[in-house]
A and B are shown apart, each in its own frame.
Chain A
Amino acid sequence: MQAVIVHPLSAEKAARARSATRHLGVAEARRAILPSRTMAPLERLAVYQEMYPLRMHDALAADYPGLAAFLGDERFFEFVRAYVAVHPSRSYTFAHLGARVPEFLRRTRRFAPGPFLYDLARLERAVTEVFEVDEEGAGHTPRPPRHVAEDWESRRFATPPTLRLLAFRHAAGAALDALKAGKRPATRPHATWAALHRRRYAVYRLDLTRGEFHLLRALAKGRALGVALRAAARAHGKPLSPRAITRAFRIFTAEGLLNER
């Protein structure tokens, strides 16, 4: 019965499809299921079969609204059917259903432009994950960092458990903003970087420069400030200017991304 319900074809075709008939063929369906006054057995089974992709669609659209908007209704439905055929839900909750969407888009060539969609989906998945992070047991309440000049190279900082740092080959953040505004996004390659974090249960995205990204990433890994600045310089191709460093720290502390360790 399940094999027919989840089959992408109609209930009648599904009941004849090889993948389903191992479990329930047309004749067996008619033998197993009673007709009603108004519906034949396979028509009754089709009620469940028609609801299945709709539920999957709603769950994935909730987690990937940008992807849904970009693909449009018909193409997104195609995507949903293709995705759940390969990655059906195996969890008691819908929360995990979309976990493999970015990887699926990266591997399949059915939905274009693939690399752009992969980045967009990564961003949307990260937003969902940050939204769900469990901060209980994270420890002490974060405090802004002290201003201490003499030991600055060895300073280390704490970052919030909800912090996620992402590097993209496309302007994924701008694309998501455009899609939410009902506009068509740019899909050409354009390297961008972002930090996601959560404050009072709302998820925020901070767009970063390459240098800021590498600086924050090193600090989040627990590196001392001097080491982190050198890591950022290597990635940036040159040392960050004092102005850039000042700007980065002002932004990081204002967003609560760097705290006293």
Chain B
Amino acid sequence: MGDPFGLPDLGVGVGLRTVHFGHVLSKAPEVDFFEALTENFLDTGGRPRHVLDRLSERYPIVLHGVSMSIGGTDPLDLGYLRKVKALAARVHARWVSDHLCFTGVSGRNTHDLLPLPYNEETLRHVVSRVKQASDVLERPLVLENPSSYLEFRSSTMSESAFFARLLEDADCGMLLDVNNVYVSSVNHGFDPVAYLDALPGDRVVQYHLAGHTDKGTHLLDTHSARMKKDVWSLYAHAIARTGPRATLYEWDEDIPDFATVHGEAKKAFKYRPPLARESRTDVPRRAARA
């Protein structure tokens, strides 16, 4: 099942983290792609940008942001979107993603992915903003389902139903985080398999895999440690529906060495085929910087 945007299956990748910069530059590991946290590479002319520039010459890169606030009521930050667009062009990003959430109001940024009520009014609002953002970026936007810890009484539909409508009405792609589906399903008491089955599989462009922490009363999406067996099962179910899609492992707390993180990511090959050798050279040739 291909996606409507013709975006490639990038294989299995790893999140680009500062602690691994030296290793990745010096050892050039056999990784299918890297995901860079967008905001860490805007407004910087120092080492982070240098590293990303070097990596983009060798590896496919995707950009993943946390500050677009696509569900927010403040106007979209067009200056920010233009910077994202410029960065995406600079590193030949295959796509740009962010989250279905809001991050703050009245100009403030909590730097958290705050939940939205899922109803018709929110849907219309978010669809409009997704189209606006896509116009500025000049590419379809890819949105991730966040983990959430509360639900609103004003919601009139499930998150998966909301997402299914959003993907079609806004003509955007989905970054399906199966750990977030699991965490939210426990926190809110819904069936995670039913959630996955409600989504239009052809709109899934990428997967996220990660670990979480059990706090007793709720699960917290900590991106720590190894992914739990139940979440691997969800991934297996999801990818059987969608077919092979770019899959990325996130590990953000107590980050171990690169080999450990990459080893965890490569477990995804139990559930999807590796990329064909010829598909790996998808990186366009560019002259090295003088």
Q: Is the C-beta of B50 less than 8 angstroms from some C-beta in chain A? A: yes
- Give the interface residue-count category, chain B: 35 or more
Contact across chains for B50 and A1 when beta carbons are under 8 A apart = no
Contact across chains for B43 and A95 when beta carbons are under 8 A apart = yes
Q: Is the C-beta of A241 less than 8 angstroms from some C-beta in chain B? A: no
The CB with the most chain B CB atoms within 10 A, among A36, A89, A93, A136, is that of: A93
Contact across chains for B150 and A34 when beta carbons are under 8 A apart = yes
Q: Is the C-beta of B218 less than 8 angstroms from some C-beta in chain A? A: yes
Given A51-B112, A93-B39, A93-B67: A32 in contact with B44 (beta carbons within 8 A): no
User: Which residues of B are interface residues toward A (Cβ below 8 A)?
Assistant: 39-40, 42-47, 50, 67, 77, 80, 104-112, 114, 149-154, 187-189, 216-218, 220
- 29 of the cross-chain contacts (CB-CB < 8 Å) are A1-B114, A2-B104, A5-B114, A6-B110, A32-B153, A32-B154, A34-B152, A36-B151, A36-B187, A36-B188, A38-B216, A44-B149, A44-B150, A48-B110, A51-B112, A52-B110, A55-B111, A55-B112, A90-B108, A90-B109, A92-B42, A93-B43, A131-B46, A132-B46, A133-B45, A133-B46, A136-B45, A201-B47, A202-B47
Contact across chains for A5 and B112 when beta carbons are under 8 A apart = yes
Contact across chains for A47 and B218 when beta carbons are under 8 A apart = yes
Which DSSP category, helix, strand, loop or mixed, fits chain B's interface? loop
A95, chain B: closest CB distance, angstroms: 5
- Residues from chain A with a CB closer than 8 A to the CB of B150 are 33-34, 36, 41, 44-45, 47-48
- Residues from chain A with a CB closer than 8 A to the CB of B67 are 92-93
CA A141 to CA B187, docked complex, whole Å:
57
CA A41 to CA B217, docked complex, whole Å:
13
| A-B pairs with beta carbons under 8 A, tally | 102
User: Which residues of A are interface residues toward B (Cβ below 8 A)?
Assistant: 1-2, 5-6, 31-34, 36-39, 41, 43-45, 47-48, 51-52, 55-56, 59, 88-96, 131-136, 198, 201-202
Looking across the interface, which residue of chain B has its beta carbon closest to that of A129? B46
- Residues from chain B with a CB closer than 8 A to the CB of A37 are 189
- Residues from chain A with a CB closer than 8 A to the CB of B188 are 36
CA A12 to CA B123, docked complex, whole Å:
30
Given A32-B154, A33-B153, A44-B149: A89 in contact with B44 (beta carbons within 8 A): no
Contact across chains for B218 and A201 when beta carbons are under 8 A apart = no
Given A2-B104, A37-B189: A48 in contact with B114 (beta carbons within 8 A): yes
B157, chain A: closest CB distance, angstroms: 14
Contact across chains for B77 and A92 when beta carbons are under 8 A apart = yes
Given A2-B104, A47-B220, A93-B42: A34 in contact with B112 (beta carbons within 8 A): no
CA A45 to CA B114, docked complex, whole Å:
10
Contact across chains for A38 and B110 when beta carbons are under 8 A apart = no
Contact across chains for B111 and A33 when beta carbons are under 8 A apart = no
Choose one: A89, A91, A135; the contact of B45 (CB below 8 Å).
Answer: A135
The 9 tightest CB contacts between A and B, nearest first, are A134-B45, A92-B67, A201-B47, A44-B150, A47-B149, A38-B217, A93-B39, A89-B109, A34-B151
Contact across chains for A201 and B220 when beta carbons are under 8 A apart = no
CA A39 to CA B42, docked complex, whole Å:
38
- Residues from chain A with a CB closer than 8 A to the CB of B47 are 131, 201-202
- Residues from chain A with a CB closer than 8 A to the CB of B154 are 32
A206, chain B: closest CB distance, angstroms: 19
CA A44 to CA B111, docked complex, whole Å:
18
A118, chain B: closest CB distance, angstroms: 25
CA A34 to CA B155, docked complex, whole Å:
10
